[in-house]
Amino acid sequence: MKKNLSNIKKATKYLNNNECIGIPTETVYGLAANAYSDKATLNIFKLKKRPKKNPLIVHYYNLNDLKKDCFLDVNFIKLYKKFCPGPISFVLKLKRNSCISNNVTNNKNNIAVRFPKHRLTRKLLKILKYPLAAPSANLYKKISAVSKSDIIDEFGKKIKFVLDGGQSKVGVESTIVSLVGKPKILRLGGIERNKIEKFLSKDKKKYKKKKIVVPGQGKLHYSPGIPIRLNIKHPKKNEAYMLINKRTISKKNFYYLSKKNNLKEAAKNLYKTLRIIKKRKFKSIAVEKIPEIGLGETINDRLIRASK
């Protein structure tokens, strides 16, 4: 406990100094900096090697803090009450007089916001006098980090401090819902699509289902740097094989995301397993068919992008 407290103090010092640090969230780790500071937010783009046109998600402690920066609409309040803090982000209209750095929004008048659930990060957000801009803590287009050691893997000594909060429980990024204009899901994520749709069902006519796009989600993303083949029953001999169901005979190249077809567990283990496989120098990865339901939809989305 004491150690956590002193680490939160350390984190505060770095952040007040306009530096980026790693923070734990329930989805994936974030590369965080003061969202009100041009200098601090610029450091995020540099460190991540991310194009500046790709906007950042801002992390708040609660509604009260958010009110200064954004307009709140009815759908937002409904979803907030149901799912926050938790693995969901919202695109909202930015207030003109907000202090959010233009680097965060790419000079647009919309902003993505979220209320992370991790205990340590909530403590940190409560203390700070500003919200935290935080993209996933990985190099641009690479696999997201779900632990402190993943971040060190990605950035080495370039990152000065990581607040260690153990392994991320959800393991995939937040679901992003745009509430500017017709509500629509922009990115699949840690909360299943149907749970959110159910919630917006009263506005069914207004709800737009089709395309899922966010500006930053290019085709190649979450890439382990080797080919991935999906829906595979029989892997090649020298191929890493990711599975979600236990086989009677297991082989050395088998990597279980789950042994019981548990999609929540599989999501949690996805990025971690991709990272392990990459380190073992396999030339390619085969993946057992993952059902296109619930979090399976999110896992498939990430695997398809990673395989491009």
> Where on the chain is the footprint of ligand TXA (CB under 6 A)?
25, 27-28, 30, 54-57, 89, 91, 110-112, 114, 116, 134-136, 173-174, 176, 186, 214-217
CB under 5 to 8 A by kind: which of ligand TXA, Mg ion, none does 261 bind?
none
Q: Which is nearer to ligand TXA, 253 or 300 (CB)?
A: 300
| Residue that the structure tokens 């993943």 belong to | 150
Report the DSSP pairing between strands 110-114 and 57-59. parallel
Q: How many residues does the chain have?
A: 308
CB under 5 to 8 A by kind: which of ligand TXA, Mg ion, none does 174 bind?
ligand TXA
Q: Which is nearer to ligand TXA, 112 or 128 (CB)?
A: 112
Piece in contact with Mg ion (CB under 5 A), picked from 76-84, 118-126, 136-144, 206-214: 136-144
Distance of closest approach, residue 108 Cβ to ligand TXA, in angstroms:
6
Structure tokens at 149: 């050691």
Q: Which is nearer to ligand TXA, 120 or 243 (CB)?
A: 120
CB under 5 to 8 A by kind: which of Mg ion, ligand TXA, none does 30 bind?
ligand TXA
Q: Which is nearer to Mg ion, 141 or 193 (CB)?
A: 141
CA distance 166 to 2: 16
Distance of closest approach, residue 196 Cβ to ligand TXA, in angstroms:
14
Beta strands in 78-123 (DSSP E): 88-93, 110-114
Which element (helix H / strand E) includes 113? strand 110-114
- Do the Cβ atoms of 190 and 114 come closer than 8 Å? no
CA 163 to chain centre: 17
Piece in contact with Mg ion (CB under 5 A), picked from 29-37, 63-71, 134-142, 236-244: 134-142
CA distance 18 to 280: 37
C-beta nearest to ligand TXA: residue: 216
Distance of closest approach, residue 139 Cβ to Mg ion, in angstroms:
10
> In sequence order, what are the beta bridge partners of 23?
30
Distance of closest approach, residue 91 Cβ to ligand TXA, in angstroms:
4
Distance of closest approach, residue 64 Cβ to Mg ion, in angstroms:
27
Q: Which is nearer to ligand TXA, 54 or 62 (CB)?
A: 54
Distance of closest approach, residue 302 Cβ to ligand TXA, in angstroms:
11
Structure tokens at 235: 């892997």
Q: Which residue in 291, 153, 303 sits closest to 222, CA to CA?
A: 303
CA distance 284 to 277: 9
Of the candidate residues 25, 27, 41, 136, the single one contacting Mg ion (CB under 5 A) = 136
**185 backbone dihedrals φ, ψ, rounded to 5°:** -85, 125
Q: Which is nearer to Mg ion, 23 or 200 (CB)?
A: 23
**Sign of CA pseudo-dihedral 261, 267, 269, 273:** positive
Distance of closest approach, residue 141 Cβ to ligand TXA, in angstroms:
10
CA distance 40 to 262: 40
The residues of the shown chain that bind Mg ion, judged by CB under 5 A, are 136
